[in-house]
Amino acid sequence: MKKVMLFLMLIAFATQAQDGANTALRQKNFLLEKGIALSGYDPVSYFSSGQKMAKPQKGKIAFNYGGVTYKFISEANLETFKKMPVKYEPAYGGWCAYAMGAKGEKVEVDPENFKIVNGTLNLFYRNFFSNTLDDWNKEETKLKKQADINWTKFFK
């Protein structure tokens, strides 16, 4: 019985250590502005039903998920997020999807420049002269596949 208890305690400790390591990796690899993801935009607000294009909105209600803090415009959006956070978290930690696919690099984004791809929020860099969303759209399938591969390299 003592061996079983010791074994269970070791598993619990290892799980907590793994959770702590995952939290630290997420904090290190996610694009955070003063500790806040998506520059304070509500991740649920990027997804809309019945509208052609959602307009993201800045949130005020903070919630930490896996070491990353998100802000929400309403308790309803927070509750929606809590039910399935992985659906609403941005791809590639909120870094530019195009840059992740093309070069495997973390490039900051314009949080209002986005595309939902297969139900996942993808964000893109944009300035006066360049919009990487346009480049992404030209080669989305290839870039998405490479971005998925490149993103995993940040968690090794």
Taking only the tens place, the pLDDT of each residue in 94-136 is: 999 999 999 999 999 999 999 999 999 999 999 999 999 999 9
pLDDT of residue 53: 65
First to last CA, the chain: 37
Angle at 145 between CA 33 and CA 25, to 5 degrees: 35
pLDDT band, very low/low/confident/very high, at 23 (cuts 50, 70, 90)? confident
**C-alpha closest to that of 125 among 103, 141, 151:** 103
Mean pLDDT of the chain: 85
Which one-letter amino acid corresponds to residue 52? K
